[in-house]
Structure 1
Amino acid sequence: MPLKSRAIALSVGITSLAVISFQLVIMQLLSISQWHHFAYMVISMAMLGFGAAGTFLALFREWLKRNFDRAMPLLYLLCSLSMALSGRLVGIFGEFDTFLLFFDRSQIGLMSFTYLVYALPFFFAGLAITLVFYHHVAHIGTLYFFNLAGSAAGALVIIGLFWTVPLPLIPSLLALLPMLAAWMVRIRSRRFAALMVLFLLGPLSGILAPVTPGISEFKPMYGSLQLPDAEVIYEESGPYGLLQVVRAPAQRFAPALSLQYRGEPPVRDVLFNNGEYLGTLLGRLEVQGNDREEGHLDPGRQSVSTRHLLDYATRGLPFALRQPESVLVLKSATGTDVSHALAHSPSRVTAVEPNRQANRLLTDRRPEWIDSLYLHPKVSLYGSSVRTWLARNTDIRKDLIILPVIGAFGGTSGVHALQEEYHFTLEALLEMYDRLTAKGMIAVTVWAEYPPRNSLKLLATWRVLLEELGVDAADSHIMAVRNWGTITWILSRSAFTDEEVRAARAFSRNRSFDPLILPDVTDEERDYFNMAEDRMFFDQVDTLLYGNYEAFFRDYIFEIRPATDNRPFFSHFMTLGSVPGLLRQYDVRELPYMELGFILAAVTLVQIVLASVILIILPLFRVGWQGTRRRYTFLYFSGIGIGFMFFEIVLIQKLVLYLGQPVYATAAVLAALLLSSGAGSYASSRFRADHRTLLRTGGVIVVLILLYALLLMPLLDVSMSWPIPARVANVVVLLAPPAFFMGMMFPFGLRRLSGSNETQIPWACGVDSCLSVSATALATMIALETGFVVVMGVAAAAYALTTLASLRLGDAIQQNP
């Protein structure tokens, strides 16, 4: 390859590194400003930009080809400028807020504008890269390799930047890379040098005056900041998100306390992650109380004792039943439940918190904020995901396992429906059950909500779990107590004794709580102190506990079947089939706020499809679609677009379980797929693009996808306990075979078209991009409805379609090995 061509190839790699890193930056920015990282939507932004660039090239290819030397550096400069200024541009007409989307119609426009602004850098980068492909089609394999290899490197480089550079600075730093690419292919003239200096002002302004992302006014942190004299006393960004500590004189900790509590709720600082409540900096808070209030103690005793504030919440139930010696707190956050456990004098408390930034803050930098709780000699803190810790500690048994609180005061409006919650799947709870001692318990507290969903889904999961284990009399192993705000659920490995049932009743009576599930609970007991909003809830609980739960699953208006590793969306309750029934019971304006995440996924799917059709497909009609066998061109490249994206989206969602964090999962999948696809693209130039080669390659892809749908997670389970670097390397190795062959199909298709139907190449790229853009949201919707295995099956079917269409696709430019 000539020296100039090498510079062009290297500029493609550098720009690809920048734009793939920018994708992960957008994920972090959306996690802060909105309610979710929206990985599928961010990927679609990138694909839309690249697809629109392909269409633009089709419309103006002759002019761009004639002015290639001037267009290339200018496009790189525009990519740099739009990347650096994206944070300022998205807010010029007002801030987009997911929560207001169905309340304020202007938010639809703001959502579309935000989407397009973030797509701009990908458009300019895509146009530059596609122009290189078109201008140097003879070297397509090598250039495609630099494109994908640079992208793979970007997915790994950005993780290092997240750990070392404040998030607001990263977009401007990344913008310097396309500028470097522009310098590598520059025109040697004073005018262009002056233009570069002018464009350099964009990244420099972002470095000197970075834009801090705002948070939704409906996020918990925003409410805390509205308190008198509230201030942010600490802030730190990293791959796990933006940590902020808010201090306010009126910020008190009172988590659904008993109305019998006579003390004053304490003032405490609160730690937020991306604006969401992570935990109160409580420390070892203890209060004074009477021993006679505890159900398991002698009612005749009158002495005053020291106990924890949470003993006055329903969360005190497990400690009222038994005295656990060994406690495991999962997703321990700021250690509130660890503090509660320590107040009951166990021999050992194990805390597992995946957010390593928060762990570092509370153990190394500011341990005094929680009274050095995580440095207590009885406490062991592990910075890993729940499932990773369980995989590493198969021989450990615990007397009590405490899971994180589900929901929030007043409900959550279903904003977390898209989140993978692998710690609440049936498989996860089975693993936890296996880690219990003979008298061990699992405790979960759920915030009350109407209509009931979280509590019913948790109960349904436990009922199915006990049935799978062959345990009869579920009411002898499940106990629940409720008050005005929360329900605490207990799952016991052994049947509750009569003494423990009496202790639960005494605990409830002394705290003005109501027993919800006890072996002989009465209707009067259930609704004595805290009147239920709808007494039908009690009938629903009884049906799940004693009756035909499968029939209840079919008839209940919400989806409350247990979450599984195949469908790990515990907070997802609304399906397409349930919408008509919900509309009959509730106003259409209420529907989005019962499960905002699901509705938003549907809305963004419509937006993405419209944007891709308008910006990619419709402009191509201006140049027309000429040549023969056009339907086969459409089928071939649409299959590639759908198949690759479905495979990618599923892997990202599945690997959240394996790697424990969405950013790591996205980076690992992008790096593995793009690097191996790039290698496959490079290798494709050594093979003939004939029917036999395409049939064999497509057949291998279909078989591998089907095998991975069934065997990938069992293979990953074997290495779940490995360190993160080793697991990332394992992902790269395991994903290399399918990605390698997938990388061959696109250049094979272009080479066949270049033989006799060269005018169809822009359409081929446009169709591939359009279907890739749409497939990101569609894959998420299908995963919500049916699970990951079905999405993988659709990916295999898409590549099967591509393989069959290859039989009638163009003629090939033959290249011998």
Structure 2
Amino acid sequence: MLTKIVIARPPFFRNVSDGMRNEYIMTDKHNMGKRWYNATGTPIHMLCSLALVSFGMILYEIVLTRIFSVILSYHYVFAILSLAMLGLGMGGFLLKKWCRTTRGPHLYMVTAVTALVAGIITALTLYLSQAAPVSWGNTVTWVILFLPVIPFLFFGMTIASFFQQAPGQSSVLYGFDIVGGALAALAAVPLLNTVPAPQVAFIVVLVVVFASMILAAVEYFNMKIAIFSLIGLLLGAGGIWLAPPRILPIKNDLNKDINRIIYKDSGDGRIVETRWSAFGQTDLVESDLLPGEKIIYIDGAAGTSMYGYQSLLNDSTKLRDLTTNFGQYFPFYFLQKNQKDSALVIGPGGGRDVLVALFGGVSFITAVEVNPELVQIVKDYEDFNGGLYTQLPNVEIVVDEGRSFLRNTSEKYDLLMLALPVTKSSRSINGYALTENYLFTVEAFGDYLGRLTPEGRIIFVTHGKAELYRLLALTLTAFEERGIPVDQAMNHLYTIARHGMPTLIIQKNPFSPEEMKTRHAALHELGFDDGDYFLPFQEQVSRSLALSHDTASTLTWNMFDQTMVNLSKGTLTLDELVNTASLNIEPVRDDNPFFYNFDKELPSPFRQLYGLIILGIGIVIWVVSVKKPSAHVKTGFIRPFARHTKLKWFLMIFLLLGMGFMMLEIALFQKLTLYLGNPVSSTSVLLFSLLLGVGVGSLGSSRITHRLWIAVVISTGAVFALSLAYNYVLEDLMTSAAIVPFRAGLITGLLGVAMGFPFPLALRMMNKHGLGEFTAAMWGANGLASVAGAITAMIIGIEWGFTEVLFIGGVLYLITGLLFTAIRRQI
């Protein structure tokens, strides 16, 4: 409840000496007159400014995921966010150091500086990424990787300043802090769908400048503050005006497909149009070397071709490349009319797969594409592509995530067509989901088989042997779960190879020897034996060939892929294949859908980040194990823990809360995205629901004035109980497609309410026991632990699954409650 209080000299929170942090004191002669306060005595302008700063920080984090998804390869996005959050945590420690040497910063000043730093770093990042010459090599990449640490360092210091100045009001402050972040999550998608990400970054500058102006107007406004505010406004407005509506990847990043056509020596590639959305930057590119074809890139990668329909019909060579030279078309040579009544194309992109189905004679085609901007571009260029998505009555385009569409439809299809995407881009707005999706898991294959007619088949186009073998492992596992052993399951599929893009064809019912004999003859005749391939029921042919340079040695040539032959004969088991493969081709499931992780060991950058976690654990053990008197401790940052034994317990509590929060967030979001579909909008909804719940919980905790530890124990127990329950009942709760968003929001919001109690209550307990001066330091420790929690969540998710992540996150909260129970007499 908000109350208007009139007093002659209202209190204002300012950094003061130790032992007085819980006192409201008056230190500024200008603070006279009427002010708005909430019922707890916290100035309303302070709460609103904190909410604006938090809004700007979360929005800035989201915008960075979009910007860095374009300028760098996708695997850097998680590392950048981790480093940025590291800066956020370090801001608390920097503030503590500042307050120890001086009176500490004015809130309006540190907020204004944060706005300026965010604007300057954004401008510098955009300049370096777009203007740096190729000769700079990886130097510019490393510079850009670490630049985001700087603004987040100031964001961390700013937010920690609010808590440091009023530790006794942590519940209300934390509530407004979290609610501001929740509003940013809600606003991010519509804002990014309207304004290019670089310009949104400078909108953040204006938001934070506005927060500093509110503080300065109420606290103390002079010429210096006016100049700072004016500079911030000019920087934000100038950035919005001058920020490039289109950005390109760093020139030396060869993982970005668009670089090959834009920065080629011939320089013939050119961007026709650029569109921004919450999904990313979509570029339409054309080249003189590709007449009658335009390529659509998402974040500079995942190129997909859009063909000029009339030019395709007039160019026999290009038409032949799309049909007789493309593996996806090969099965159509053998399909009867009743076997191609309907086709479902997942991820049609610019329409190549739809064209294949049309030329193959499919009666009706349903194409499901997750990126609305990509679909709109194809629609807008209907004069070029012949109205592929707009004018053909037998083609229906649906904007949805493929797996989500499958789970919510009862239709059955003769054909299911997927060309494996090479996304190389972060899709979720928080950067943690990376590129993984639920299209290529064992459970997905079960859904595919369930949506096929009795004579139906699946056609996969891959980009190499690794993808082919992992798809094979997924397929065989899905058949095994249907009671069909591996050797018999091999009779349901065959592979062909052409131009380094193997194609896997899977039929719901087993093929016959006669069918395979016909296909065997055709693939040799048509040239689809360019690489490793396999057909069941056909005898393996082997030859020993003498080497021209070494007549004593021979080379064995096999007509078919010998590994697949061994699987079909039962002389090789699937487990043996997975264990002996040089790459990781183990079947992945919905619980850890990392299909593109082919590393046998932990992939980069998690190997490097794991080392940082180990280092952090060592430092924590060092701190909590110190037993010497503070006068004998030489290391400065350890001395407070030697002087205040209670502080060690609080350090452990805030570290556990930080790790547990991020583990629960990432695990729950990953699981619920399967049911919600679109990774962008679903993450926005989930993040808003979770943060709103945390804010409500924190504000509710402000009503608790006695026995705070009991509330902490109850709330942490509730978090553990919910995390345990969600692992068992989530599938049942998400059965109804009509109310899935509501239920997902309710699930995350309910967990958020329970998670909103422990952190502010722990800060208030610190303050009650005379440790309020360490509020900023504990806020920083919690931030650093959040980084460790995010890294740990992804490592466990990759190695074991997100069910374990959700459970462990709940356990960390339970341990926090047990710590309060065990040490309540000491604290």
Shorter-chain TM-score bucket reads 0.7 to 0.9
Offset of 1:781 from its aligned partner? 1.6
The answer as to 2:684 corresponding to 1:659 is: no
SS in 1 for 2:188: helix
* Residue 273 (structure 1) aligned with residue 303 (structure 2): no
Q: Secondary structure at the match of 1:249?
A: coil
Change (3 A) 1:105 1:171: closer
Identity %: 24
User: CA shift at 1:366, angstroms?
Assistant: 1.9
2:258 corresponds in structure 1 to 221
Asked if the contact 2:492–2:510 (Cα under 8 Å) also holds between the matched residues in 1, the reply is yes
Alignment of 1:509-658 (within 5 A): 509-514=524-529, 516-524=533-541, 538-545=561-568, 546=570, 547-576=572-601, 598-606=603-611, 620-621=637-638, 626-658=643-675
Tell me the CA shift for residue 608 of structure 1.
Answer: 7.7
What residue is the counterpart of 2:237 in the other structure?
A: 204
What TM-score, normalized to structure 2? 0.82
1:430 to 439, 446, 451: 446
User: Is 1:796 aligned to residue 800 of structure 2?
Assistant: no
Q: Does 1:169 align with 2:199?
A: yes
Deviation at 1:160, TM superposition (A): 1.1
Alignment check: 8 A CA contact 1:627 1:760 kept: no
Equivalent-residue separation in structure 2 for 1:600 and 1:67 (angstroms): 37
Q: CA deviation at 1:94?
A: 6.8
How far did residue 213 of structure 1 move? Answer: 3.4
Aligned pair 1:129/2:159, yes or no?
A: yes
What is the aligned partner in structure 2 of residue 391 from structure 1? Answer: 407
Looking at structure 2, the residues matched to 557 and 536 of structure 1 have their Cα atoms a distance apart, in angstroms, of: 22
SS state of the match for residue 148, structure 2? helix
Q: In structure 1, what is the equivalent of residue 277 of structure 2? A: 238
In 2: Cα distance, 1:390 partner to 1:619 partner: 59
- Do the aligned partners of 2:459 and 2:503 also contact (CA within 8 Å) in 1? yes
Aligned partner of 1:119 in structure 2 is: 149
Q: Is the 8 A contact 2:170 2:764 kept in 1?
A: no
**Secondary structure at 1:236 match in 2:** strand
Amino acid at match of 2:201: P
* Alignment check: 8 A CA contact 1:282 1:336 kept: yes
Say yes or no: does 1:752 pair with 2:752.
no
- The residue number in structure 2 matching 1:693 is 711
Q: Measure the CA separation in 2 of the matches of 1:559 and 1:307.
A: 35
- In the aligned structure 1, how far is the partner of 2:314 from the partner of 2:326? 13
Q: How many residues align?
A: 736
Partner residue of 1:189 out of 222, 232, 248: 222
C-alpha contact (below 8 Å) 1:440/1:492 kept by paired residues: yes
Query: CA 1:677/1:809 → structure 2, altered by over 3 Å: closer, same or farther?
Result: farther
What letter is aligned with 2:677?
A: G
CA contact under 8 A between 2:606 and 2:795: conserved in structure 1? yes
Q: Which moved more, 1:687-696 or 1:746-755?
A: 687-696
> What is residue 404 of structure 1 aligned with on the other side?
419
The residue that corresponds to 1:159 in the other structure is: 189
Contact 1:43–1:776, Cα closer than 8 Å, also in 2? no
User: Would you say 1:85 and 2:120 are equivalent positions?
Assistant: yes
Q: Who is 2:756 aligned against?
A: 743
Whether contact under 8 Å (1:422, 1:565) holds in the other structure is: yes
Take 1:96 and 1:792, find their aligned partners in 2: how far apart are those partners?
A: 43
The one of 479, 490, 498 aligned to 1:466: 479
Partners in 1 of 2:660 and 2:694 — Cα distance?
Answer: 13
Q: Distance in 1 between matches of 2:203 and 2:495?
A: 53
Separation of aligned partners in 2, 1:620 and 1:310: 68
Choose from 663, 666, 671 the match for 2:688: 671
Q: Which residue of 2 aligns with 1:138?
A: 168
How far 1:702 moved relative to its partner?
A: 1.1
Q: Which residue in the other structure is 2:792 paired with?
A: 778
Q: Is the CA contact (8 Å cut-off) linking 1:353 and 1:359 kept in structure 2?
A: yes
Q: Is the contact between residue 677 and residue 739 of structure 1 (CA under 8 Å) also seen in structure 2?
A: yes
Separation (CA, whole Å) in 2 of partners of 1:797 and 1:105: 47
Amino acid at match of 1:3: W
Give the counterpart letter for 2:149 in structure 1. Answer: A
Cα deviations across residues 664-706 of structure 1 (Å, max 9, x unaligned)?
Answer: 3432332122111111111112223444333222211111111
Runs of at least 5 residues in structure 1 that lack an aligned partner in the other structure: 252-265, 291-305, 410-415, 578-597
Cα separation, partners in 2 of 1:756 and 1:46, compared to 1, 3 Å: same
Q: Distance in 1 between matches of 2:797 and 2:212?
A: 41
Partner of residue 385, structure 2:
370
- Picking from 346, 350, 354, the partner of 1:334 is 350
Aligned to 1:178: 208
Is the CA contact (8 Å cut-off) linking 1:625 and 1:760 kept in structure 2?
A: no
1:146 to 1:418, Cα distance in 2 relative to 1, 3 A = closer
Q: 1:772 to 1:430 in 2, by over 3 A?
A: same
Please give the root-mean-square deviation of Cα atoms over the aligned residues, in Å: 3.4
Over residues 735-777 of structure 1, what are the superposed CA-to-partner deviations in whole Å (9 max), with x where a residue is unaligned? Answer: 1222111111111211222222505544432332221122212
CA-CA distance at 1:147 after TM superposition: 0.5
Shift of 1:498: 4.1
| Residue in structure 2 matching 1:55, options 77, 81, 93 | 93
The Cα of 1:424 is off from its aligned counterpart by 0.8
Residue aligned with 1:428, SS: helix
1:732 aligns with 2:749: no
1:481 to 472, 492, 496: 496
Cα deviations across residues 422-443 of structure 1 (Å, max 9, x unaligned)?
1111111111111111110000
Q: How does 1:255-294 map to 2 (within 5 A)?
A: 267-284=292-309, 285-286=312-313
| 1:181 alignment partner AA | A
The separation in 1 between residues aligned to 2:283 and 2:400, in whole angstroms, is: 21
Residue 766 (1) aligns with residue 766 (2)? no
1:127-149 Cα offsets, whole Å, 9 max, x none, are: 22221212122322111111000
Q: Report the Cα distance in structure 2 between the residues aligned to 1:111 and 1:243, rounded to whole angstroms.
A: 22
Structure 1 Cα separation of the partners of residues 639 and 241 of structure 2: 44
SS in 2 for 1:3: strand
1:320 aligns with 2:343: no
The 1:809–1:39 alpha-carbon spacing in structure 2 relative to 1, beyond 3 Å, is farther
- Mark the CA change 1:809 to 1:288 in structure 2 (over 3 Å): closer, same or farther: same
Task: Give TM-score, length-normalised by structure 1.
Answer: 0.83
Q: Secondary structure at the match of 1:698?
A: helix
Q: Is the 8 A contact 1:352 1:384 kept in 2?
A: yes
Offset of 1:314 from its aligned partner? Answer: 1.8
Distance 1:710 1:772 in 2: 26
Q: What amino acid sits opposite 2:575 in the alignment?
A: E
Give the direction of change, closer, same or farther, for the CA distance of 1:668–1:446 in structure 2 (3 Å limit). Answer: same
**Offset of 1:795 from its aligned partner?**
0.9
Tell me: CA distance 1:337–1:484, structure 2 relative to 1, closer, same or farther (3 Å).
Answer: closer
Q: 1:708 aligns with which of 726, 742, 748?
A: 726
Q: Identify which range, 516-525 or 559-568, moves more after superposition.
A: 516-525
Amino acid at match of 2:489: A
- Cα shift at 1:310: 2.3
Is this contact kept in 2: 1:609–1:774, CA < 8 A? no
Q: Given the superposition, is the C-alpha separation of residues 420 and 358 from structure 1 closer, same or farther in structure 2, using an over 3 Å criterion?
A: same
Give the whole-Å Cα distance in 1 for the aligned partners of 2:619 and 2:141: 17
Residues 1:39 and 1:144: Cα distance change in structure 2 (over 3 Å): farther
Post-superposition offset of 1:713: 4.3
Distance 1:332 1:15 in 2: 41
Does structure 2 retain, via aligned residues, the 8 Å contact 1:86–1:118?
yes
* Residue 55 (structure 2) pairs with residue 17 (structure 1): yes
CA contact (8 A) 1:543 1:549 kept: no
Deviations 1:320-367 (A, max 9, x none): 22141211111111110111111122220110111111112212x222
